[in-house]
């Protein structure tokens, strides 16, 4: 029987540049269309690390080139731009793949705002690296001229780091649900959603942050009462002792086991840890919900129980 699946796409589903993205989304669309052809209801979300970094850099260059005319573009607007063009590519490729299979369904991207808490400790400790790598001298200049927070990223150079608060609520959730319930294929919560604060009255104010797509997708899956949260990434399974001789790939594990492995430090913060944490939160949110971490190319095999790391509440 068909399931409702929230598919969270990682960096490898979108590529690192515009031409790479055009090619990558074709394969991504094929994997998603297969799930839909199998009778599942699919909701798509995706990350935006490289893309939001690129847009932010382009907008900053514009400001520098003509400061009289262009003021710095807020990070929330850069996230919105990334949702727009990634959504366009996915929507375009998915429509084609579905029509090629004789499937007539509407495909739409919902620009999604996600509420964050202004008191989230993440605002005091920015941790998420975005965009290009810089030398220490360039980093110093960026800090002095633009007030950026810069941090050394795993020996590869300096990058801008931004706050990555936890999602509190999805503003457009009713709209997304209405489309999903009427059998449309929806792309939502791209790049973790456009981060906004609630202010006085009904105003929502953009926040200078990038929400982790794994956590936003988890929230989306819960609120849509999905059966499965599927996190598609660059590895077929999560592992304990990752990269070490005693490495062991994980098949089906319980929430409790997964929590223990997190506590033992098996998953790298900023890459595998948020996925496992999101998977745990979803599986623990209601009996019967399953979370799956696997490769994009293995999406169908994963749904049919043939591969991936599955986290369940037994
Ligand atoms: P995405 O763009 O899909 O979010 P990330 O690069 O952020 O991808 O995270 C996936 C990566 O996490 C894998 O490619 C792998 O190199 C790394 N990783 C870190 N710890 C683990 C682990 N314990 N098991 C598997 N992969 C891990
Ligand atoms: Mg990631």
**Would strands 309-312 and 150-152 be described as parallel, antiparallel, or unpaired?**
unpaired
DSSP annotation string for 221-287: HHHTT-SEEEEEESSSS-EESTTSTT-EE--EEEHHHHHHHHHTT-S-TTTHHHHHHHHHHHHHHST
Task: List the one residue out of 56, 257, 255, 232 whose CA is nearest residue 160.
Answer: 56
Tens-place pLDDT, residues 208-220: 999 999 999 999 9
pLDDT number for residue 156: 81
pLDDT number for residue 105: 97
Tokens standing for 300? 């169908």
Q: Are residues 107 and 174 in the same domain?
A: yes
Is 92 assigned a catalytic role? no
Domain region containing 299: 227-314
Task: List the one residue out of 235, 221, 253, 209 whose CA is nearest residue 293.
Answer: 235
Is 275 assigned a catalytic role? yes
Tens-place pLDDT, residues 97-151: 999 999 999 999 999 999 999 999 999 999 888 877 899 999 999 899 878 899 8
Task: List the one residue out of 88, 271, 303 whose CA is nearest residue 190.
Answer: 88
| Assigned domain for 309 exists | yes
Q: Which residues line ligand 1 (CB under 6 A)?
A: 10-11, 47, 233-235, 238-239, 242, 266-268, 271-272
Q: Are residues 249 and 146 in the same domain?
A: no
Q: Are residues 19 and 100 in the same domain?
A: yes
Q: Which of 8, 11, 45, 235 is the pocket-test mutation for ligand 1 (most atoms within 8 Å of CB)? A: 235
Q: Which of 180, 206, 225 is the last residue of a domain?
A: 225
**Catalytic residue from among 87, 128, 131, 193:** 128
Give the global pTM: 0.94
Q: Are residues 178 and 300 in the same domain?
A: no
Contact 82, 191 (CB under 8 A): yes
Q: Are residues 200 and 64 in the same domain?
A: yes
Is 11 assigned a catalytic role? yes
Q: Are residues 170 and 276 in the same domain?
A: no
Q: Which residue reads 């490769």 in tokens?
A: 295
Tens-place pLDDT, residues 168-179: 999 999 999 999
| Assigned domain for 4 exists | no
Q: Which residue reads 């996600």 in tokens?
A: 114
Angle at 219 (CA atoms; ends 25, 11), nearest 5 degrees: 25
Ligand 1 mean position, distance from CA 159 (Å): 19
Q: Are residues 96 and 241 in the same domain?
A: no
Is 213 assigned a catalytic role? yes
Q: Are residues 252 and 174 in the same domain?
A: no
How many domains does the chain contain in total?
Answer: 3
Ligand 1 mean position, distance from CA 13 (Å): 13
Q: Is the pLDDT of residue 265 over 90?
A: yes
């Amino acid at each position: 029987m068909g399931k409702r699946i929230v598919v969270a796409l990682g960096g490898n589903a979108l590529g690192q540049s515009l031409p790479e993205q055009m090619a990558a989304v074709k394969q991504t669309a094929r994997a998603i269309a297969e799930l839909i052809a199998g009778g599942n209801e699919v909701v798509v979300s995706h990350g935006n690390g490289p893309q939001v970094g690129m847009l932010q850099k382009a907008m900053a260059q514009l400001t520098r080139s003509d400061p009289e005319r262009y003021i710095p573009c807020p990070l929330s607007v850069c996230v919105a731009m990334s949702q727009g063009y990634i959504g366009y590519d996915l929507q375009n490729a998915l429509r084609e793949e579905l029509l090629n299979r004789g499937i007539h369904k509407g495909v739409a991207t919902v620009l999604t705002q996600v509420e964050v808490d202004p008191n989230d400790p993440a605002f005091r400790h920015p941790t998420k690296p975005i965009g290009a790598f810089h030398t220490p001298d360039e980093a110093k200049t960026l800090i002095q001229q633009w007030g950026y927070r810069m941090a050394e990223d795993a020996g590869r150079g300096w990058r801008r780091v931004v706050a990555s608060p936890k999602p509190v609520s999805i503003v457009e959730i009713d709209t997304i649900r209405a489309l999903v319930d009427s059998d449309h294929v929806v792309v939502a919560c791209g790049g973790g959603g456009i981060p906004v604060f609630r202010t006085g009255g009904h105003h929502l104010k953009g926040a200078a942050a990038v929400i982790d797509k794994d956590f936003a997708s988890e929230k989306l899956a819960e609120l849509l009462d999905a059966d499965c949260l599927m996190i598609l990434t660059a590895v077929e399974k999560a592992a304990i002792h990752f990269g070490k001789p005693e490495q062991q790939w994980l098949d089906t594990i319980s929430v409790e086991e997964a929590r223990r492995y997190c506590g033992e430090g098996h998953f790298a913060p900023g890459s595998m840890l948020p996925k496992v944490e999101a998977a745990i939160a979803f599986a623990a949110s209601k009996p019967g919900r399953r979370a799956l971490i696997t490769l994009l190319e293995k999406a169908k095999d994963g749904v049919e129980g043939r591969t991936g790391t599955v986290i369940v509440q037994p």
